[in-house]
Structure 1
Amino acid sequence: MINLEDYKGRRVHFVGIGGISMSGLAEILLHRGYKVTGSDINRTNLTERLEDLGAVIQQGHEPQLVNDADLLVYTAAVKPDNPERKRAGELGIPEMERAALLGEIMKQYPVRIGIAGTHGKTTATSMTACILELANLHPTIHIGGELDLIGGNTKAGNGEIFIFEACEYVDSFLQFHPTIAVVLNVDLDHLDHFKNMDHIKRSFERYLALLPEDGLAIGLADDANTLEVLKSAPSAQETFGVEGGDDVQAKNLDCDNRGHFSFDLFVEGTCLGRIALAVPGRHNVLNALAASAVALKMGLGIEDIQRGLEAYTGTHRRFELEGELMPGVSVYHDYAHHPTEVKATLATARALHPKRLWCVFQPHTYTRTAKLFELFVDAFSDADEVIVAPIYAAREPNDGQNNDARLAQRLNEKQSAIFLNSFDTISCHLADHCTPGDMVLILGAGDIEKLAIAISHSAVTA
């Protein structure tokens, strides 16, 4: 067992330091007095931020980069045959996987707020961070996206609170130590690791089992899977939702012409006040309720919740306005890559934009596309035109099933859909067929953001 405190003031080397989580962990260690070095294939704004804070980062992976390291940190995507990991093994340098490091870091904070769920983790964690930060609780924050309020994906606070995303993939969250655990929802995903829904539910139950007896489990009452998981917690339990019978509930929902919802916040049947969200989408009401439940547990009042949620204007890659394809054609980008997320994001776009809506979708991983194929077929009904891009492989080999082209073919049986095999082809197709008044929504968790940026020729305001 590695004791992180033993390495304070010594050199910790991150392989793949540019990742959204790895860069955040590196920043926290820098603020806590560790020497940080790292390597990554690409230079990004995140690596530049770390260099400004004192990290030494090299582009590419070379064995000599770890020669003087005291501890090596890697992600699950970095395999044992990576040249830096191989050299670390030869030199006897201790190694630590990213999730294990996150688990060790959070031990240093008395209050540890972990936000889990198949969907919405980054948004709900960001909302919670905004509320607690603006209430001057000085939390340390670690999220899977970039939040303008904290100037990035991480903030090292000087308080006793650690707020973090708890990801279920490969059971990463079982290495964490929450005192407050939120479960936003439990849905079918990551089927390259999980066998079925029962396997997923048991994993979430094991996560809640990490809570101390005096901890708190918070879950969505509107979802049967979440309720089942929540009942297994060894601690006190609270629920949130819209449907009714919840500890924290939204009532009297209203939506403005920008797609932003407002609602009355009820706690145990008493109305505390009205909440107005600054981001579109009905699904964000549930994210806001989860954040509100945490804030109430921390002793905050309705004014703190209102101020924090009004300040949350979105996380990068979450229904983000990139610019215009041409005058009158706005381009939005969102991280949605699961059928439930695609459907919710398109519903948000449709409520915001009654005219022609284009959706460019990059499927993420061969396994997800194959195993959730029929759910994807039913996810795009709010789009007028669908373009399916080639599958983003991520960590997987090509399965040879051509499910990207098959998805477009199936969609085209009931709506206008086409498969295009490159970003250049997609860009030309949009330029040739879009007309003023259209909206282009680009969805995916891979490198599809490059297309969104490339075709957005000017910044516009919502």
Structure 2
Amino acid sequence: MTPGLPAAMDRPHFIGIGGAGMSGIAKILAQRGAKVVGSDAKDSATAEALRALGVTVHIGHAAGHLADDASCVVVSSAIREDNPELVRAAELGIPVVHRSDALAALMDGLRPIAVAGTHGKTTTTSMLAVSLTELGREPSYAIGGDLDAPGSNALHGAGDVFVAEADESDRSFHTYAPEVAIVLNVELDHHANYASMDEIYESFETFAGKIVPGGTLVISADHAGARELTRRLAGSVRTVTYGEADDADVRVLEIVPQGLKSRVTVLLDGRELTFTVSVPGRHYALNAVAALTAGAALGIPADGLAPALAAYTGVKRRLQLKGEAAGVQVIDSYAHHPTEMTADLEAMRAAAGDSRILVVFQPHLFSRTQQLGKEMGRSLALADASAVLDVYPAREDPIPGVTSDLIIEAARAAGADVTAVHDKAQIPVVIAGMAQPGDLVLTMGAGDVTDLGPRILDRLSQQQ
């Protein structure tokens, strides 16, 4: 199956084309034959990967980057109204399309699986993409992270399945009409857009209501927020639950850690299935079960899909090994919400044995730090020592009184060994002074803390 280009998207212009979600859509459009142009604040490996597909990528934002004959301008919620290219689009009367609408158009005519939840979306979407590819199903996919190389966050496949990460942060996942929807968990996050858990539940209810007639909602039976959502939906959509709970439809019987892997046994349709998950941690094992359940709901034989899930070996920034120097391993983690932080630290603790775990944590967003800073600090108490950076603002302006000190104070109150580091350039020196052979170092957060891994390794190498 080869869907054509969506109407009015044959000459799209992307503002912020280097972002994970935006670059994936641009890549699929280019693979379908569109003449794609875009701009981004800085050059990157992702921009180079797009150029390799024939995409024109401008660095910096300027009105002159937007061609008069562009068929539409694609934006994300992060693009401000005063962006010069967006202003120019209004002057020229060029339609502006939100990235979620562009992604929904790409799914049209296919069998979409939309993966939602406060945590685990990228991993679960990636697991489905990799395992379906392993089975020869040639899926299309759009993921919020790279599988194994810059630009590998999306693909236009020849098969009939489209797997997409569905972002709840700005309610854009209401745009999709999936055949199968996954809800991994439901928690309060994205405080700039949601004021309460009731608003979160209402948003997820709307998402579930978009499932096509005859479709399926796959949802956790373990997570309290997911169970409440299931109760609220009250049979309005066909639901299949999964997890360790006794009443789960697809029940996890056993998760056995095996170093940096896990062996998982589930009861599905009255039969036991045992398979390997090639990344560490209980939460990743449960993500794999969600993927298995969704595939089965789409009619893919579980006997084939279960072993194919072992082909997934990770995604960039999800406990990704960056290298080793002076007997110290450096691992990168995208975790930025307390639940994610705790899950990744518990996974590393289970895999590390007697090794010490040192964390470089960069808080992401002032609003999140204001609401969840104390919980972040308590999560850091799971590490042997931590260095905490200043808040990475991303799209937000500072909030008076909200700094990383909120996290540091809570961590110290929980008995954690925490050092405040305000100059990011000093982190390699700080960590090299702390680390000993056998230690594991985690760079953790959703901002540019990921850039520090190679610098830490360089500094450690100099000490050998």
TM-score of the pair, normalised by structure 2: 0.93
- 1:98 maps to 2:99: yes
**How does 1:223-238 map onto structure 2 within 5 Å?**
223-231=223-231, 232=233, 234-238=236-240
Deviation at 1:228, TM superposition (A): 2.5
Deviation per CA, 1:339-385: give whole Å up to 9, x if none. Answer: 00000111111111122211111000111011112322321232110
Conserved 8 A contact 1:208-1:234: no
SS in 1 for 2:28: helix
| Aligned partner of residue 323 in structure 1, secondary structure | strand
Superposed CA deviations along residues 381-417 of structure 1, whole A, max 9, x for unmatched, are: 3211011110001111111314302321331231211
The alignment's TM-score, normalised by the length of structure 1, stands at 0.94
Choose 185-194 or 430-439, whichever is displaced more: 430-439
Cα shift at 1:450: 1.0
Shift of 1:126: 0.7
The letter of the residue matching 1:73 is: V
| Kept after mapping to 2: 8 A contact 1:213/1:236 | no
For 1:67 and 1:156, the matched residues in 2 are separated by: 26
Q: How far did residue 149 of structure 1 move?
A: 9.1
| Matched letter for residue 243 of structure 2 | G
Structure 1: gaps spanning 5 or more residues: none
Change (3 A) 1:242 1:108: same
Count residues with an aligned counterpart: 453
Q: Is the 8 A contact 2:183 2:226 kept in 1?
A: yes
**Which aligned pairs between 1:3-402 and structure 2 lie closer than 5 A?**
5-7=6-8, 10-68=10-68, 69-109=70-110, 111-148=111-148, 152-231=152-231, 232=233, 234-256=236-258, 258-271=259-272, 273-324=273-324, 326-353=325-352, 354-402=354-402
In 1, Cα distance between equivalents of 2:384 and 2:147 = 31
SS in 1 for 2:448: coil
Match of 2:407 in 1: 407
Call closer, same or farther: CA 1:294–1:149 in 2, change over 3 Å.
Answer: farther
> In the aligned structure 1, how far is the partner of 2:264 from the partner of 2:11?
49
> Which has the larger displacement, 423-432 or 147-156?
147-156
Change in Cα spacing, 1:305 to 1:340, as seen in structure 2 (3 Å) is: same
CA distance in 1, matches of 2:197, 2:180: 24
Runs of 4+ residues deviating >6 angstroms: none
Q: Secondary structure at the match of 1:35?
A: coil
What SS does structure 2 have at the residue aligned with 1:391?
Answer: coil
Question: Contact 2:278/2:313 (CA < 8 Å) preserved in 1?
Answer: yes
Q: Tell me, in whole angstroms, the C-alpha distance in 2 between the residues paired with 1:458 and 1:155.
A: 37
Q: Secondary structure at the match of 2:74?
A: strand
Per-residue CA distance 1:218-241 (angstroms, 9 max, x = gap)? 100012321222341633110000
Match in the other structure for 1:417? 418
Query: 1:150 & 1:405 partners in 2: Cα distance?
Result: 34
Q: Work out the CA distance in 2 between the residues paired with 1:230 and 1:459.
A: 49
Deviations along 1:127-181, whole A, 9 cap, x unmatched? 1112211112211111001113997001101121111001101101011111111
Alpha-carbon separation, structure 2, partners of 1:342 and 1:185? 15
Contact 2:45 2:150 (8 Å CA) reproduced: no
Q: Distance in 1 between matches of 2:72 and 2:369?
A: 37
Distance 1:100 1:80 in 2: 18
Partner SS, residue 36 of structure 2: strand
Match for 1:246: what amino acid? Answer: A
**SS at the partner of 1:148?**
coil
Residue 312 of structure 1 deviates from its aligned partner by 0.5
CA distances 1:76-112 after superposition (whole Å, capped 9, x unpaired): 1111211111111111111111112112221232x11
CA contact (8 A) 2:263 2:276 kept: yes
**How big is the alpha-carbon RMSD for the aligned residues of Structure 1 and Structure 2?**
2.0
**CA–CA distance in 2 between the matches of 1:123 and 1:166?**
12
Quick check: 2:39–2:60 contact (8 Å CA) kept in 1? Answer: yes
Residues 150/275 of structure 1: CA separation in 2 closer, same or farther (3 Å cut): farther
Q: In 1, are the aligned partners of 2:49 and 2:151 still within 8 Å (CA)?
A: no
Q: Distance in 1 between matches of 2:376 and 2:50?
A: 38
Q: 1:63 offset after TM fit, Å?
A: 0.6
Secondary structure of the residue aligned to 2:381 is coil
Alpha-carbon distance, 1:458 to partner: 9.8
Instruction: Say whether the 8 Å CA contact 1:220–1:226 is kept in structure 2.
Output: yes
Alignment CA distance shift 1:4-1:82 (3 Å):
farther
SS in 2 for 1:217: strand
Cα distance in 1 between the residues matched to 2:410 and 2:228: 34
Distance in 2 of aligned mates of 1:252 and 1:35: 49
Cα distance change on mapping 1:74 and 1:459 into 2, 3 Å = farther
Distance 1:459 1:52 in 2: 34
Q: Sequence identity, in percent?
A: 36
